[in-house]
Amino acid sequence: MQLIERITELLNEEKWTRATLNNYTVANFSDLDKLIEQIEGKEEADAVLELCNEHLHHTKNSIIALYVSGRIKIRRQNVDDSNLVSLIEIFIDNHKWAIVRYLCERILDHGENKFALRTLADSYNNDNLVDEMYGIWERLIRIDFDEADIVKQLAEYKEKKGLAEEALGYYKKALHRYVAKKAFSNIKEIWHKLIKDSLGETEFFFHAERKISRAISDERAIQLLEDLYPHFRQAEDYGTAITILKRVLTYDARNPWARKEITECYRELYSHHSHLEEYIKLSNLNQSWRNVHDAIADFEKHISFDAGNFVFHRSWGVGLIRGIDDDEITIDFVKRRNHSMSLKMAVSALTVLPKDHIWVLKTTRKKDRLRKEVKKNPDWALEIIIRSMNNAADMKVIKSELVPSILTQGEWSSWSTRAREILKTDERFGNVPDKVDSYSIREQPITLEEKMYNRFKAEKDFFDRAKTLFEFLRYVERGDVEASDTEFVREMVDYFTGYLRSVGEVDEHTFASVLVLQRVVSEHPYLNPGVNLAFEDYLSQASNIEEVFRNIANPDIRRAFLRKLRKHDPDWHEVYVKVFPYHLNKEILDDLEAAGKKDSMLKIYRQITEGYRDYREAFVWLARHSDEMKWHDEIGLAYEKLLINLVHILDLTFRDIENRRDVTENRRINRQVQTYLFKERRLAEALETVDEESIQRIYTLVEDVAGLDPTVGLDLKNIVLRRFPEFRFYSDQGPETVHRGGFMTVASSYEAKQKDLERIHSVEVPKNSQEIATAREYGDLKENAEYKAAKERQEQLNNEAARLTDDLQRVTIVRPQDVDSTVISFGTKATLLDTKKKETVIFTILGPWESDPDKGVINYQSPLGKALYDHKVGERLDFSVGDHEYSYEVQAIEPVL
């Protein structure tokens, strides 16, 4: 209360003494600052603010009230700085520049501010403190992205100081800002200045020219390119001169000047070529009736055919041009030496490749040498591949060029991690416009901030753009880029601000924009867009908060949303219950537990358990955390029931995958369940401990899961049989039923066939794939014997794997207790008397996988096996197989399993 009384006393004293402005000094405000620092807590600050506002109602120009209230507001990061602005304007009118500077600096203590910086610069200018003024201007243009004239003045100032590089940067920045203002006379002035001082930075000129075309007109862009062109022509840089002329012709294909000039540049560039004039004539390059772009493409293709150049044919691969004789061209391909074709055919069938094209390198260099170079210098490899792909390639294309022809899949995994970081941070690599994941090579370096901005623009999805902005802010935190030095961050911020300027229905984009901008402003206050960022205001307008949350497709924004929700919604715990299945994060459960909301936690567990068919992923998540959290004990869910629910989910996902329903999601959940139940051996461990009745329930469900690997069932079956040898499985059938489409075998044969199948998939197929890839590199697939042989082997392996898979699914394993030794049957050894030869014969009856007639092992499905089957001791058998007649008497039958 003493503080309130002291401020009241000062306000009254000011009113009674009618203190004049001339009596105020910086010391007076310094004393007020000491008083403001004593304010403790929000309640006392609110009381002081109310006192000042009441005083201003009667005395609107009260210096003390304006200053104290203004400082309190700005300390709260309040956008309203009107009281301090009014106070500064009062002292400007009275030319009290020292006080003006002090007041501006107090505003700037809490973040950059356009008004404060402009005013501070003006005050330095009035006191003829020029260097200080320019220093403030440098800060001002970092936050005032519309200011262009001051940027130009800074460039001129730096140039006078001899700071050429800094001056150049400001001239470029000024040009971009004048483009935004469509101030062409200023643009042209700076354009000519940059031609003089920075002619080599063609990427900058081309980027600016594109912006001018979009912002002003194609005609203005052409005008500037025409001013740029002569400098490269005079320097005999015909490659760049041709590029400029092509850009002119892109805007105006009928421009006669550009067409004439490009023809002359080609003449100069290819003056050494013996067929130059012939190719100009063939392409009709200098004939106005021919489409200029077609003529250029035609000419460039013809002129590129010269001895020593590499070409590519889609069947024969890479070749080297040995010579051109009139209209005939001779080429050496890898497997087709001295191949001749007409020039006309070559132009239509071949693509000319530069000597450093990746296909040329793979053909001309030894694999080991190239592999070492690629692994040692990933930046070199990236540049080679991207240039080879017409200066545009994504990671998928890059991988296809390296794996498996140069790198193995394992080598690619580590190599690609390094490559992605290089593509993100190396200034030589840029993003292809409108293609998020495609990269190009920049002739001039590209800044990290420009690269991030290009990616931001290329993103089409709101949340992908948010992710890119967050990544940019992380680079700022690391010090890789200074946010205040770039205009790109303002444009990114403006994208999200647009969602809050005219809010209709409050949806996920509204909340996400608030949370994104709150983060930006907290780290960079000068970027405050001046819109309402109060989360609680939007919360009161939202009709379905759970739906909003589900639609937020960014984990960082989701977490921020939940933190704000807990702070501003008294029923936050109820929302947590509803959103948990869509945001499987232990933080939610930890928050509920810390707040003593045990009932809400139990509600989550019951909700997911009872609706596990709909909340499949959530139930799997809870199962995977069951050891740690013991949640199933808290709701009385038996562990056996948990496992049974997971088996049901496994079956549901297999069925949905087969029906092509949400395939990606169902496969992911299916893999998670299989990992938990089988790879981690949870189900196996349970079968080792539960009683026989529980085993019957669990195993019956497992048997019913369509699509499950048969080896899984066999493994579980063996566990059960070790514990309960006489256990009868639901699927057990007598031997007589297996003849309908299936057959019988023994466990050892089954396991051997499983290993055969695994060997095909894990060894033979990868080996064959490598053989195909190697053979494909030889070119000309129609005449490639190695390729044909490898493809035939591929078909054999596929057929063998399909047959084994089918057999494993149809076969029935016969156990010792299944063998009926009262008759000749599967798993028995029969001793017979050959009544014709008076000799004893012994046959063992097994299946097709065990059959070995030379050793007396007979397939029960064979003609001989069928003739013997089901006969008892003492019976006489007379039958014929083919042309051979048999006469046996059964003497003994015994089991062999």
pLDDT at 642: 94
> What percent of the chain is predicted at pLDDT more than 70?
94
pLDDT at 782: 53
Distance in angstroms (rounded) separating the CA atoms of residues 650 and 707: 10
| Contact residues for 830 (Cβ-Cβ < 8 A; gap 6+) | 824, 842, 843, 844, 845, 868, 890, 892, 893
Distance in angstroms (rounded) separating the CA atoms of residues 826 and 745: 9
pLDDT at 735: 41
Distance in angstroms (rounded) separating the CA atoms of residues 446 and 431: 10
Question: What's the whole-number mean pLDDT along residues 835-844?
Answer: 92
Q: Specify the pairing of strand 876-881 against strand 857-859.
A: unpaired
pLDDT at 737: 37
Question: What's the whole-number mean pLDDT along residues 163-179?
Answer: 93
Q: What is the DSSP string of 609-639?
A: HHTTTTSHHHHHHHHHTHHHH-HHHHTT--H
pLDDT band with cut points at 50, 70 and 90 for residue 396:
very high
Question: What's the whole-number mean pLDDT along residues 155-167?
Answer: 94
Question: What's the whole-number mean pLDDT along residues 413-428?
Answer: 88
Tell whether the model's pLDDT for residue 435 goes beyond 80: no
- Other CB atoms within 10 A of residue 351 CB: 14
Q: What is the DSSP string of 131-193?
A: HHHHHHHHHHHHH-TT--HHHHHHHHHHHHTT-HHHHHHHHHHHHHHHHHHT-HHHHHHHHHH
Q: What is the DSSP string of 511-558?
A: HHHHHHHHHHHHH-GGG--SS---HHHHHTT-S-HHHHHHT---HHHH
- Closest residue by Cα to residue 595 from 620, 610, 576, 580: 576
Q: What is the pTM of this model?
A: 0.58
**Helix then strand then coil, % of the chain, to nearest 5:** 65, 10, 25
pLDDT at 675: 94
Q: Is 586 helix (H, G, I), strand (E, B) or coil?
A: helix
pLDDT at 731: 55
Locate 292 and state its tokens: 């200029």
Rg (CA), the chain: 41
Locate 577 and state its tokens: 């219950």
State pLDDT tens for residues 578-636: 999 989 999 999 999 999 999 999 999 999 999 999 999 999 999 999 988 889 899 99
Distance in angstroms (rounded) separating the CA atoms of residues 323 and 332: 10
pLDDT band with cut points at 50, 70 and 90 for residue 16:
confident
Question: What's the whole-number mean pLDDT along residues 374-385?
Answer: 94
Tell whether the model's pLDDT for residue 485 goes beyond 60: no
pLDDT at 736: 40
pLDDT at 479: 64
pLDDT band with cut points at 50, 70 and 90 for residue 399:
very high
Distance in angstroms (rounded) separating the CA atoms of residues 752 and 850: 11
| Contact residues for 90 (Cβ-Cβ < 8 A; gap 6+) | 21, 61, 63
Give the torsion sign (CA, 312, 314, 317, 323): negative
Question: What's the whole-number mean pLDDT along residues 2-31?
Answer: 82
Question: What's the whole-number mean pLDDT along residues 864-892?
Answer: 89
Q: What mean pLDDT is reported for the chain?
A: 88
pLDDT at 230: 96
Phi, psi for 743 (deg, rounded to 5)? -155, 170
Is the pLDDT higher at 388 or at 478?
A: 388
Phi, psi for 886 (deg, rounded to 5)? -120, 150
Question: What's the whole-number mean pLDDT along residues 662-672?
Answer: 93
Buried b (16+ CB within 10 A) or exposed e, 582-596: bbbeeebbebbeeee
Is the pLDDT higher at 241 or at 141?
A: 241
Residue at token pair 């293609």 = 435
| Inter-CA distances, 560 with 508, 519, 549, Å | 13, 9, 11
In the DSSP assignment, the letter for residue 505 is S
Tell whether the model's pLDDT for residue 20 goes beyond 70: no
| Contact residues for 628 (Cβ-Cβ < 8 A; gap 6+) | none
pLDDT at 78: 56
First-to-final CA distance of the chain: 98
pLDDT at 481: 59
pLDDT band with cut points at 50, 70 and 90 for residue 740:
very low
Question: What's the whole-number mean pLDDT along residues 834-845?
Answer: 92
Locate 631 and state its tokens: 């949640």
Question: What's the whole-number mean pLDDT along residues 339-351?
Answer: 88
Distance in angstroms (rounded) separating the CA atoms of residues 200 and 444: 9
pLDDT at 13: 82
State pLDDT tens for residues 436-468: 778 888 776 677 777 788 888 888 899 999 999
Is the pLDDT higher at 78 or at 676?
A: 676
Distance in angstroms (rounded) separating the CA atoms of residues 490 and 528: 10
Give the torsion sign (CA, 122, 126, 130, 132): negative
State pLDDT tens for residues 559-587: 999 999 998 999 999 999 999 998 999 99
pLDDT band with cut points at 50, 70 and 90 for residue 785:
low
Question: What's the whole-number mean pLDDT along residues 173-199?
Answer: 94
